[in-house]
């Protein structure tokens, strides 16, 4: 890989290894209860309560429900907030969903999350990456640029873990970060299967089904051309403006801190709105006092962030109160 790509790789290396946030595992009991619940509305209420108490697992599952519009209004922004919390705690499925939503919005940083999800062992992330590298050269280079960071860390490691064998097998099978070698890929996956890796079993099945096509040998003499990877050109310009990689990283950390604060504010507002909607719907067959709490949460959510979810929650609870009052 061209040494001029080093700034991008260094930033991904720090992103890959940055300290994860702590999830409140005690609050996972809400997720356990939600798995036993057949009613989607009741399930959403349990997950919202668990997320409010800091459960990353509840946040991830609630994000899926928001994404699908199951038991709660379909809302991509709210789903993104849920996945952001869970991904920050190290859940690979949430990383994948967050990355896909980011890419859908045109944010190239989504590729960081998808690559990290794959490195963390999510086999679906590998499927998306395989599609990316087959679609266009720019995406293939973007994927290889990131995965090469982890490849250098584990490719000659003795006593590799199941996750590392899964990763190395995929690299050999696709020709990403190394020369394509199906024998090496199978050898890695066989070891991983012995380590009880479902991911290695799945990738081996994909290989047996012919889902890893042969690729042309790498051209080791290909140099970087301006415009080859647009995000690199943009980074070079930002690096020139900052004056040094250290200053650029400081600016990136400050930007991420501000975005994190904004996301936390959105997350809090969206969670209040979700609780408002769920409580309002549950209160339709319950006590007026519960609906009053839902109305207050909706108003607080609207105060924090003007959004459709907050308005829906307020309307539902207001209607319930009027109906109960008239009755």
**What one-character DSSP code corresponds to residue 287?**
-
pLDDT of residue 90: 97
Name the range with the highest mean pLDDT among 99-108, 212-221, 291-300: 99-108
Residue with tokens 């679906």: 124
Q: Is residue 104 part of a domain?
A: no
Q: Sorting pLDDT into bands at 50, 70 and 90, what band is 227?
A: very low
Beta strands in the chain (DSSP E): none
Burial readout 104-114 (b: 16 or more C-beta within 10 A, e: otherwise): eeeeebbbbbb
Lowest mean per-residue pLDDT among 5-9, 160-164, 235-239, 320-324? 235-239
C-alpha to C-alpha distance for 95 and 45, rounded to whole angstroms: 23
Q: Is residue 248 part of a domain?
A: no
What is the domain range of residue 281?
Answer: 264-327
Q: Is residue 278 part of a domain?
A: yes
pLDDT of residue 245: 54
Whether pLDDT at 39 is above 90: yes
Percentage, residues of the chain above pLDDT 70: 72
**Contact assessment for residue 67 and residue 79, using Cβ atoms and an 8 Å cutoff:** yes
How is 52-63 classified by DSSP, letter by letter? HTT-HHHHHHHH
Whether pLDDT at 225 is above 60: no
C-alpha to C-alpha distance for 211 and 225, rounded to whole angstroms: 31
C-alpha to C-alpha distance for 201 and 204, rounded to whole angstroms: 5
- The pTM is what? 0.71
Q: Sorting pLDDT into bands at 50, 70 and 90, what band is 220?
A: very low
**What one-character DSSP code corresponds to residue 212?**
S
Q: Report the pLDDT averaged over residues 67-94.
A: 94
Q: Is residue 304 part of a domain?
A: yes
pLDDT digits (tens, 9 = 90+) for 13-31: 999 999 999 999 999 999 9
Tell me which of 269 and 187 has the higher pLDDT. 187
Q: What are phi and psi of 72, to 5 degrees?
A: -155, 160
pLDDT of residue 237: 61
Whether pLDDT at 205 is above 90: yes
Q: Is residue 305 part of a domain?
A: yes
Domain count, the chain: 1
Q: What's the whole-number average pLDDT of the chain?
A: 83
pLDDT of residue 263: 73
C-alpha to C-alpha distance for 86 and 22, rounded to whole angstroms: 10
Q: Is residue 313 part of a domain?
A: yes
Q: Is residue 289 part of a domain?
A: yes
Q: Is residue 131 part of a domain?
A: no
Tell me which of 308 and 239 has the higher pLDDT. 308
**Contact assessment for residue 291 and residue 263, using Cβ atoms and an 8 Å cutoff:** no
């Amino acid at each position: 890989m061209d040494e001029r790509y080093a700034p991008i790789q260094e930033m991904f290396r720090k992103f890959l290894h940055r300290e994860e946030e702590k999830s409140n595992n005690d609050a996972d009991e809400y997720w356990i209860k939600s798995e036993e619940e057949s009613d989607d509305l009741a399930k959403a209420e349990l997950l919202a309560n668990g997320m409010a108490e800091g459960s990353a697992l509840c946040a991830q599952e609630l994000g899926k429900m928001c994404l699908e519009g199951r038991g709660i209004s379909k809302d991509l922004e709210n789903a993104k907030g849920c996945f952001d919390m869970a991904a920050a705690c190290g859940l690979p499925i949430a990383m994948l969903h967050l990355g896909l939503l980011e890419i859908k919005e045109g944010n190239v940083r989504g590729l960081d999350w998808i690559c990290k999800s794959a490195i963390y062992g999510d086999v679906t992330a590998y499927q998306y990456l395989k599609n990316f590298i087959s679609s266009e050269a720019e995406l293939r280079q973007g994927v290889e640029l990131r995965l090469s960071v982890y490849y250098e860390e584990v490719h000659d490691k003795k006593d590799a873990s199941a996750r590392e064998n899964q990763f190395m097998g995929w690299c050999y099978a696709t020709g990403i970060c190394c020369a394509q070698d199906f024998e090496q890929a199978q050898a890695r996956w066989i070891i991983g299967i012995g380590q009880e890796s479902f991911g290695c079993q799945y990738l081996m099945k994909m290989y047996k089904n012919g889902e890893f096509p042969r690729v042309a040998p790498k051209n080791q003499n290909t140099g970087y051309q301006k415009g080859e990877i647009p995000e690199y050109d943009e980074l070079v310009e930002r690096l020139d403006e900052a004056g040094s990689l250290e200053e650029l990283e400081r600016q990136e950390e400050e930007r991420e801190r501000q975005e994190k604060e904004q996301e936390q504010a959105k997350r809090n507002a969206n969670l209040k709105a979700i609780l408002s909607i769920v409580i309002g719907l549950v209160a339709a067959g319950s006590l007026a006092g519960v609906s009053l709490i839902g109305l207050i949460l909706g108003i607080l959510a609207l105060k924090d962030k003007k959004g459709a979810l907050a308005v829906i929650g307020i309307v539902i609870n207001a209607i319930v109160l009027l109906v109960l009052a008239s009755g």
